[in-house]
Structure 1
Amino acid sequence: MAEDLYQTLGVSRTATKDEIKKAHRKLAVKHHPDQNPDDKKAHEAFKRIQEAYDVLSDDEKRAAYDRYGADFEKIRGTGYQPGSGGSAGFEGLDMEQIFGNRGRGGGGDAQFNGFSDFFEQMMGGGAGPQRGPQRGAPRQVAPQPGATIRHELDLPLEVAVRGGKTEFYLQTGESNEKIAVTIPPGVETGSKIRLRERGGPSPNGGPTGDLILLIKVMDHPHFRRKGRNLEVDVPVSVAEAVLGAKVDVPTPSGTVAVTIPAGTSSGRRLRLKGLGVKNRDDSVGDLFVVVQIEVPESIDDESKKLIEEFAERNPMVLREDLSF
């Protein structure tokens, strides 16, 4: 009995197209000939995976497979032999409905993928005029594109925000290939970058597959990204917070001098417009400076007296409304 296509991909018969796509992607990478050059079982598994995905990823083919799948097995078991004449066992089985025009030979054997042997058995002998290659002639297999490879690429926040060139290593077979790529400014975690013809090689002379980079932006020790805006904690002294000051703050566009207003409390947010993350429409988010007042861990006796005097001369009501 032929293996069930759903079992081949390891999904249920109610699986969504997205679940089928993810299952195919995972299995194709695992069993790809490039990853298993000397493993014939892996090659066969890769072929079955591709055949199953070809049917289950197509709504019309999948519906027909769900309806006629059992009939496929019955037809294989009828004992029908090519050249015997007639078409016993095929009544009610509309091949065009199942595979579109390809079911009538319009696309050649290469269009049938893993079902080619089955169609050869059906269309051989007395099955009528043959529109594909004649029996006994070499089978023409259309060049197949290489597999699409997906690779997660970790990017520092500054590269994701500013853009620029970066390099990474991709394992291909038993070696690591060094690849350079230009990152557009403003990418974020979940963004995808497609590199044409940098994926898996074709198994039979077709075009090389594509490489899709899945972007993951790493955390920064000081800056935080909030959509198109950035936040940074800037430490200031007690004197700077009380008296006001100008402090240098790094931004994606370079260092700028930021005015800390006199009487600034810890946690105050100062907005620097247009110094955040660049959008695709060339608009730019903002940078928010979050003031953090730092106090010395220890002070001398004279400084303590000055602080006490300062507190007496500047009384404050801080916790009057504090409640649970």
Structure 2
Amino acid sequence: MAEDYYSTLGISRSASQDEILKAYRRLARKYHPDLNPDDEKAKRQFQAVQVAYDTLQDPEKRKLYDQFGEGYEAYRNNPFGAGQAGPAGFDFREAFEKSEGFQFFDFFKDAASGSQASGKSQGSSARSRRSGASSRTSSFESDPHQPGDVAAEIPVPLRIMVEGGEVQFRLNRGDGRIEDLSVKIPADVSPGKKIRLRGLGERNRSGETGDLILTIQLQPHHAIKINGNNIELKLPITLSEAIYGAKIDVPSLGGDVTIRIPTMCDSGKRLRVKGQGLKGPNGLRGDMIIEPLIQLPEEIPESLGPVIKQFESTYDKNLRDGIRW
């Protein structure tokens, strides 16, 4: 019997998102392999904690887990369901670097989650359906004149979308057949781009084999999203960086770039790095839009209490005065 995720983290089923994060941080520190070298039990426990956190910190995954209980593992491994098993979508540093100056990891590199030399992304899951059949997982209709065609979506890391490369994925055809396939992604593609793989569809009534039509989607990432040809990045900064300003190295498509955080920078302010977005139909690249987000430490020493109270007095107006229904 699989251990209950709530029990793994030592929390109640009604725990808040903040309680889930605190439990994860505590247990991840306790069982982290760097602190427990050659301890296989600690390694297994650390992996279990990551899997539990990866599910419970996501409201949609948590809802499914609460619904399916022990059957969630089988549901999660079904490409028609919640996606690939394992905590690959979560980076351990994300939960710990917020209050330690935050060294933002190279998401253009790490997002590939495979061999950097080959550009392969392991374990993606494509969800398919035949033309004319109803499905809640596909976002577009196949050509009704090609009944043998199969439609599927495939998540692709940002770096491969820009540089091109090979993505390996698992296709569930819906009748019990599961196939491991690969596709070469050309450089400079955008979400929504369709790739046709000849002869990998289903056999129609005439005996002809249709095609597999893949729609490219950006592999989900906690800090980035695509908006047209622009790449939007949420960049955590410390309180002191927000007040006094700072120069921060940020990874981009062309390598690290140094951006300047202005003094008295509020969360939500948008900074633009020209030419670091995706290439558009006109051959010109969009921009990278950086949104600084002030991250407070998890705990503040009591000795700083008087200073914080004094800091509060520097506001010259009610911040919520303009909020009216």
TM-score range, shorter chain: 0.3 to 0.5
Structure with max Cα Rg: 1
TM-score by length of 2: 0.47
The structure in which a higher percent of residues are helix is: 1
TM-score by length of 1: 0.47
